[in-house]
Amino acid sequence: MLNVVALMGRLVADPELRHTPNGVATCTFRIAVDRSFVRAGEERKADFIDIVVWRQTAEFVCKYFHKGNLIAVDGSIQTRTYEDKTGNKRYAFEVVANNVHFTGEKSGSTGGQGGYGAPAPTQAPAARPAPAEPVSYAAGSADDFAVIDDNEDLPF
C-alpha cells in the first residue's frame, strides 16, 4: 500500500492553532493548488485542500506562515466521517502533513530561519505572478531541428 502526497500552494487564510485536551498542538489550514492544465480561453483553476499538522510542526506553521504564503507540504491522505449539527453523516478528506517547507521568496530575516521569514501581519501578500503561457510547437518546421550524425563513436 502507498499513501503519499506532495503539494505546493498558497494559504487561503491564516492557520489556526488548537490544543487537544491532553495539550497536543494541532493546526489546520487550507491551501489553493493551481491545476497544471488550462483550457484555451479559460482561467486557470485551483483545488482547495485541507491540511492538518501536529505537535511542533503545528506550532511552526502557525508562527511562520500567514495567508497568501507559498508552502510545500508532504504527508498522506486521511478520510474520516462525522455527524454534522443536523445529524447528517459527512465525510472529511484532508492531508495529514509530515513536513512543511518554505517555498516563497526570502523576505526579512526572522533570526534562525535561514533568512526566510513570513511577511508582517500588516503587509499584504505578494502579488501572484501571471501563469506562463503554454508553449506551442505547432508552428515549428523541420528547419528547427539539427540532424545528428549517429555513425560516429559516442563520447562516453
Instruction: Tell which residue, 62, 66, 50, has the closest CA to residue 18.
Output: 62
Which CATH number fits the domain that encloses residue 21? 2.40.50.140
* Structure confidence by residue, pLDDT tens digits, 23-42: 999 999 999 999 888 788 88
Look at the chain and report how many structural domains it folds into.
Answer: 1
**144 found inside a domain:** no
Pairing of strands 46-54, 16-19: unpaired
- DSSP H or E segment with residue 59: helix 55-64
**14 found inside a domain:** yes
Which parts of the chain have pLDDT scores under 70?
A: 105-156
pLDDT of 119: 36
**154 found inside a domain:** no
**31 found inside a domain:** yes
**84 found inside a domain:** yes
pLDDT of 116: 39
**113 found inside a domain:** no
- Give how far Cα 77 sits from Cα of 8, 9, 46, 52, 67, Å: 15, 16, 18, 10, 23
Predicted TM-score (pTM) of this structure: 0.62
Neighbours of 146 (CB within 10 A): 5
pLDDT of 38: 79
Q: Which domain holds residue 21?
A: 5-35+46-102
pLDDT of 73: 95
**141 found inside a domain:** no
**147 found inside a domain:** no
pLDDT of 19: 94
Neighbours of 107 (CB within 10 A): 15
